[in-house]
Structures are given as structure tokens and as C-alpha cells.
Amino acid sequence: LLAILEGCPSTRQRRAYRSVWRPMGSFTTAYGKHKPACGGACLLADVGSMNLMPVSAGLIIGPCVLWFTFVAPRLVLLPGGLVAPLVVAVSMCLSLMALFLAWTTEPGIVPYVPIEEKQDDTTVDGETTLKRNPRKKFVIALNGQHYPLPYFRAKICRETEACVERFDHFCPWVGNVVGLRNHKYFVAFTIGASVVALEVFVSSIYIGTSGQLSEELKAHERAVALILASYTAVIMLAVGGLMCYHADLIAQNESTNERLKGVFAMRANPYDQGVLTNCYNFWCLPTRKSYVSSENKEDDVPLPLLPHGQP
């Protein structure tokens, strides 16, 4: 028995074996504050208290639980009353799924490096002096070449310190940067949340003010229905307004960052291909593979570049 025990690996050895031989996922390297998670299956932004994704999920799940507890049982007694609970349930699940994907999807990170800008010598009183401390700027490094950030419509995110292609904005409510690869999930989340809020608002108003149910409806049920109506009215104004804003951006193939900076205010947008084409490209074209995924590298060589301006 002693010989058998001596031949068995220790607990430390077993842990080391598992850590060495455990299969790694697609992401093995951190980029800024984006760090591999779930064994490398995804890159999550480690932004601490700025990650409000769990709060967003709670703001959807909590009111829906109250609605299914106090309002839905009254609705199902009415003709066609099963439609509303079905719509709310499906919309809630889709919005939570889109929220999860917006949080866990690598947003479109591109590697970048600093380079020193060449500065001309200056002449003062006929004497040439060299400029010291040359300025540094950042460029995207792919395929062994350097590209300016505007070529990829990219920006270095201040919150995550990562350079993201077609940078839109950093959203604490999804806990991630919104960029090329997860923008559609973010917009899908706003659509799902808006549909949930609209359905809960309309049904709660009806239940809370309906004269047909005034005798049967208990005081606390009426109070919950009116509170839900007030809450979802605020959600519709906030999230619904955000949804409409991004619908306009999609129709013009423009990002929030470009809109706020007025990039195309004085010149035509070269990426705008018309409303229908822009919407089709945004929703229907497959999302490009990640440049920073180990599965898409061969001998550490990045993927070929996509055509300039292609979504």
C-alpha cells in the first residue's frame, strides 16, 4: 500500500498537470483591460465597478418577475390574454441573450503599437536646432505593416485601453466596448428591452385602470401594476430613445464616435451605401473573425485585412 501511495502523484502535481494539459480556448493574451476568461473562450473587459451588466440584467428580470406574479395572472383570464405573457417571456429571453453576447463578444480589437513622429528641424536666428522628445502616436499593426487608426475607423478606448475597430462607444450597461463585432448584439439588446418595457407598460396600465377588474383587483395588485407602468415608461424613454438613435446610425453607416466628433459633418460619408444596403450589411453579413484569436493565427501571423470600409 505504501508503494502504491508513493507512486501516486501529489495534489500539487495533479494541479500542475491539469494546468499544463488543460485545453486553452481561442483567446490566450490580454489586450489592455480585456483579459481571457472561461478558459480562453472569451475576452472580458476588467473595468471593475464600471461593469454594470449584472445591474442591467436585474433591471429586466426584476420587473418581469413582478409582472408575471401580479399582472399576468389577471391577463390570462381575458380573451387572448396568453399573447402578452408569451411576448414578454420571449422578448425578455432574447434581450438577456443579446446582453450576454454584447458583454462576452470580443468587440473588434486590433493590435496597435506606438511610433515616433518625424519632426522637422527648426531654424532660429540662422541656427538649426533639433527638436527633442519627439511625439509618439499609435498605429495599428497587422500583417507586418502599420496603418493609421482612421483606416479601420478605430479608436483606443479610454476605459479598456484597447484599440477597437469601428469603435462606437464604451457602454457600462453591457460592461464592454461596443465595436464592429458586438454592435448588433448591443442594438438587439435595446430592441428586446424596449419591447419588454412597452408590453409591460401597456398591460400594467390596462390592469391598473380597468373598470372591469376594479372589484376583483386587490389594492396591492393595483399598486404593483401602476408602479410597473411608471418604471417601464422611464425605460421606454431611455432605452427606446437609444434604440432609435442607433437605428439612425445604422441607416447612415456611422458610429456614435464619428457622429459626436462630426467626422462626416463637412464631407460625405464614404461608408454610406444607402439605407437598405447599410441595414442589410449591419444585420445580415457575418461578423468577421477576431484578429486576436489564437484559432485564427498561423505562426502568429494575423488574418488578412478586410477591404477598406467593408463592415
Question: Which CA distances in Å does 69 have to 78, 88, 195, 224, 235?
Answer: 16, 13, 19, 10, 20
More confident: 141 or 307: 141
Q: Report d(CA 169, CA 164) in Å as an integer.
A: 10
Q: Report d(CA 308, CA 310) in Å as an integer.
A: 6
Q: Report d(CA 189, CA 91) in Å as an integer.
A: 10
Low-confidence winner among 16-30, 37-51, 209-223 (lowest mean pLDDT): 16-30
Q: What is the mean predicted confidence (pLDDT) over 245-249? A: 97
SS3 at position 37: strand
pLDDT digits (tens, 9 = 90+) for 151-196: 999 999 999 999 999 999 999 999 999 999 999 999 999 999 999 9
pLDDT-derived band at 116, boundaries 50, 70, 90: confident
pLDDT of residue 7: 44
Percent of the chain with pLDDT over 90: 61
Nearest of 29, 292, 32, 30 to residue 158 by alpha carbon: 32
As given in the structure block, the three cell numbers for residue 279 are 441595414
pLDDT of residue 297: 53
pLDDT of residue 301: 41
pLDDT of residue 3: 42
Q: What is the mean predicted confidence (pLDDT) over 103-129? A: 75
Q: What is the mean predicted confidence (pLDDT) over 242-249? A: 97
Please say if the pLDDT value at position 109 is more than 80. Answer: yes
pLDDT digits (tens, 9 = 90+) for 269-281: 999 999 999 999 9
Low-confidence winner among 125-129, 139-143, 216-220 (lowest mean pLDDT): 125-129
Please say if the pLDDT value at position 53 is more than 80. Answer: yes
pLDDT of residue 154: 95
Dihedrals phi, psi of 281, to nearest 5 degrees: -60, -40
Q: What is the mean predicted confidence (pLDDT) over 114-126? A: 64
For the chain, what is the mean pLDDT? 83
Q: Which long-range contacts (CB under 8 A, 24 or more apart) does 300-305 make?
A: 301/143, 302/111, 302/142, 302/143, 304/143, 305/142, 305/143
Please say if the pLDDT value at position 298 is more than 90. Answer: no
Please say if the pLDDT value at position 150 is more than 80. Answer: yes
Low-confidence winner among 7-11, 72-76, 136-140, 168-172 (lowest mean pLDDT): 7-11
Percent of the chain with pLDDT over 70: 79
Q: What is the mean predicted confidence (pLDDT) over 109-121? A: 79
pTM of the full predicted structure?
0.83
Instruction: Using the structure block, give the residue that is written with the C-alpha cell 460619408.
Output: 269
pLDDT of residue 214: 53
pLDDT of residue 122: 55
Q: Report d(CA 246, CA 240) in Å as an integer.
A: 10
Please say if the pLDDT value at position 108 is more than 60. Answer: yes
Q: What is the mean predicted confidence (pLDDT) over 196-217? A: 80
Please say if the pLDDT value at position 25 is more than 90. Answer: no
For residues 111 and 82, the answer to whether their CB atoms sit within 8 Å is no
pLDDT of residue 136: 78
